[in-house]
Structure 1
Amino acid sequence: MNSDDLALFTIVAHNLSMSRAALSCGIDQSTISRRIGNIETELGGRLFRRSGHGVRLTERGRLLLDYAERIGLMLEEATHAVQARFGVGPAHFCIAAQPTLARMLFGSFSRAIRNQFPATRIRLIEGLAAQILPRMDAGEIDLAVLYISECPIGQHWEELLMEDIHLITPATWPLQGATIKVSDLGAIPLILPSTHHGLRVLVEKLAVRSNFPLNLALECDGSISITKQLVRENCGCTILPSAAVSEDIAAGTLKSFRLTDPTIARTVAATWPKKSLIADDLSVILQILRQSIKTLITNGRWPDVHPSGEMSGALATHT
């Protein structure tokens, strides 16, 4: 018994007649009778009660019809899904990123995906790694862009770029030049997230390596916008990539100083579930992601970033 047999059985069951089923599917009645007989032999009992007026399902036949209709529906759905997706990308695709990365990537990346796959419904999620990773494990997120120190062990990931880290101060902060040594951070009151956040871990590691005391002015687990507002109001300074404050720097409301001796950079990576349900489309979307990043860097829209592996002498935070 195969799917064709079940489809034929369903036609007979719905028509309640071998002759009407024969007209419906263009098969002679004797062939239908023989194939139905073969199914009955395989299943060990009658599927229809035959009479001069047609056929009626037996209890065994009603049970088989339930399964046959479900199998037929599944085959139809599978056919439509494959035909609909062939060459047009996934039906749905969910992308997540940490806040600064989302701010830089979401617009150009989602637009590029839509250009390639107009029929794909795209969902964008901004959040911390601790919020993103459980949802990716649960199958809600297809691709995440994270700092590599927070990429999960056991998942696929690919390095994308390295992003310089800066000291961000109020516009009136009495510090000259464009850089500050890492060892001088001990004299700067800092506004940082609490201990679970990647930037807090980064600064604590720098304090140990460069032997300076962490000068913590405030802990803030709010958004980057709140942290920047606290800096603007002279509550302290903070550590961020310059991309997070480019508009504030241009407006003159904040100042930015590159960290040196050594230069500090965070590596950005794409990560996705090991058992991706859309593996074929994912390879295309990863290529779109790489091209989107390249365009942003070339056009100067993502400042102080470098393709992964191009920064000699920099201290990457995943090492």
Structure 2
Amino acid sequence: MNSDDLGLFAQVASSGSISRAAMELGADQSTVSRRIGLLEAELGVRLFHRSGRGVSLTERGQQLLVYANAVTQTLNEAHQGMRDSAEQGPARLCIAAQPTIARILFGSLGHALKARYPLTQVRFIEGLASQVLGRLSDGEVDIAILYLPEHPGALQFDLLLSEEIHLITPIDYPLQGDSVSVRDLGDIPLILPSTHHGLRVMVETLAARYGFSPNIALECDGSISITKRLVLANCGCTVLPSAAVIEEVAAGRLKSFRLENPEIRRNVAMVWPKNRVSPDGLWAVTQIIRQRTAELVSRGDWPDAVLHVAGDSL
């Protein structure tokens, strides 16, 4: 006997007729009759008096109806309780992102999350990839939005978009046109993070693939803001998404060159550890993140970005 059996039994009791109950349930009359017979056989009691006018409860049937109604009420309360909990969202939510992503997304996302989950304590963290991944692994961060590492390893992820990577130079750096070949990066002094950060790994991977040696002018493991200041001070060039320097390029303080032959893109993804129990409401939060990302791309606020379409491969 299970809740479905009790629900069927209660429906027959309410309808006073097996045929009417079958019609109300959208089931075949013979199926309903057979299931009631199986329930009576399992319990070893007669639940209904049957006549040409329909059915009526026996004394044992009336006793079972009390239990059936109690089970139905409990299930309804559980269903409503779970829905209410999902509507309220998690009690606390911590989202981390790398600086460029955080600058573009956090403002819009903050408004959306507070509108959807006014009772949730939302916390945003900005940091370098290694810092964010460490906090994610420690359980401090619920979900991270990152440039997907070359080797995701023990991460599970959901792709959001890809965006172009550009060569960023001082305004007076002697390059012509609006693009530069990837193979020419070996001739350009670069300011990059140390080897355990994503952009450095990306450049070194390109160097190995296309046969050049990176010319590392400076290593900088600080924020993107510090890297941009070093470029502004003519200490070298760097590679960044164009979204990271949109204001400086628009103001004529820095120059941006598209990397080509081939075009270089990085994937942005929502990331969390494998084998981690997700907090309640996390799936709904990811949908809000995806929706806000799509809106930013469609408005042009995330330049050179292409949304990932579900089913596309990396």
Q: Normalising by the residue count of structure 1, what TM-score does the alignment of the two structures yield? A: 0.68
**Aligned equivalents of 1:187 and 1:148: distance in 2?**
27
* Residue of structure 2 equivalent to 1:276: 277
In 2, Cα distance between the equivalents of 1:237 and 1:209? 21
Partner letter of residue 271 of structure 2?
Answer: T
Is 1:191 aligned with 2:191? yes
C-alpha deviation, 1:276, in angstroms: 2.9
User: Secondary structure, in 3 states, of the residue corresponding to 1:174?
Assistant: coil
**Distance of 2:209 and 2:309 partners within structure 1:** 22
Contact 1:164 1:266 in 2 (8 A): yes
Give the aligned length: 232
- Verify: 1:200 aligned to 2:209, yes or no: no
Match of 1:276, as an amino acid? V
Counterpart for residue 165 of structure 2 = 165
> In 2, are the aligned partners of 1:142 and 1:276 still within 8 Å (CA)?
no
1:284-314 Cα distance to aligned partner (Å, 9 max, x none):
111101110100001000101111269x9xx
Change (3 A) 1:191 1:248: same
Instruction: After superposition, give the CA deviation of every residue in 1:134-155 in whole Å (9 maximum; x if it has no partner).
Output: 3222221111011211675333
Distance 2:138 2:248 in 1: 37
Which deviates more, 130-139 or 213-222? 130-139
Matched ranges for 1:1-319 at <5 A: 85-149=85-149, 152-273=152-273, 274-279=275-280, 281-308=281-308
Counterpart amino acid of residue 146 in structure 1: L
Which residue identity lines up with residue 221 of structure 1 in the other structure?
A: D
Partner of 1:14: none
Checking the alignment, whether the CA contact within 8 Å between 1:151 and 1:271 is kept in structure 2 is no
Distance in 1 separating the partners of 2:203 and 2:219: 13
- Between the aligned partners of 2:277 and 2:304, the Cα distance in structure 1 is 32
Q: 1:151 to 1:182 in 2, by over 3 A?
A: closer
Residues 129, 150 of structure 1: 8 Å contact kept: no
Q: CA deviation at 1:183?
A: 0.9
Amino acid at match of 2:141: I
Q: What is the root-mean-square deviation in Å for CA atoms of aligned residues?
A: 2.3
Shift of 1:233: 1.2
Q: For residue 162 of structure 2, what is the amino acid of its counterpart?
A: M
The answer to whether the 8 Å contact 1:167/1:237 transfers is yes
Structure 2 stretches of 5 or more lacking a match?
A: 1-80
Closer, same or farther: CA 275–222 of 1 in aligned 2, 3 Å: closer
Letter in 2 for 1:307: L
Quick check: 1:157–1:270 contact (8 Å CA) kept in 2?
A: yes
- Take 1:182 and 1:107, find their aligned partners in 2: how far apart are those partners? 34
TM-score calculated relative to the size of structure 2: 0.69
Note if contact 1:92-1:120 (Cα within 8 Å) is conserved in structure 2.
yes
Letter in structure 1 aligned against 2:155:
Q
CA contact (8 A) 1:191 1:238 kept: yes
Note the alpha carbon deviations across 1:46-69, whole angstroms, 9 max, x for none: xxxxxxxxxxxxxxxxxxxxxxxx
Report SS of the residue matched to 2:102: helix
Percent identity among equivalent residues? 54
Alpha-carbon distance in structure 2 between the residues aligned to 1:231 and 1:157: 32
Deviating beyond 4 angstroms after TM superposition, the runs of 4 or more aligned structure 1 residues are 81-84
Q: Which amino acid aligns with 1:93?
A: L
CA distance in 2, matches of 1:301, 1:234: 28
Return the letter of the residue paired with 1:238.
Answer: T
CA 1:284–1:181: 2 relative to 1, 3 Å: same
1:275 CA displacement:
2.7
Do the aligned residues in 2 keep the contact of 1:180 with 1:257 (CA within 8 Å)?
yes
**SS in structure 2 at match of 1:149:** coil
Structure 1: gaps (5+ residues): 1-80
Q: Distance in 2 between matches of 1:95 and 1:151?
A: 22
The 1:148–1:231 alpha-carbon spacing in structure 2 relative to 1, beyond 3 Å, is same
Rounded Cα–Cα distance in structure 1 between residues aligned with 2:125 and 2:212: 37
Q: Deviations over 1:145-167 (max 9, x none)?
A: 11211675333311111011000
How has the CA–CA distance of structure 1 residues 112 and 153 changed in structure 2, closer, same or farther, with 3 Å as cutoff? same
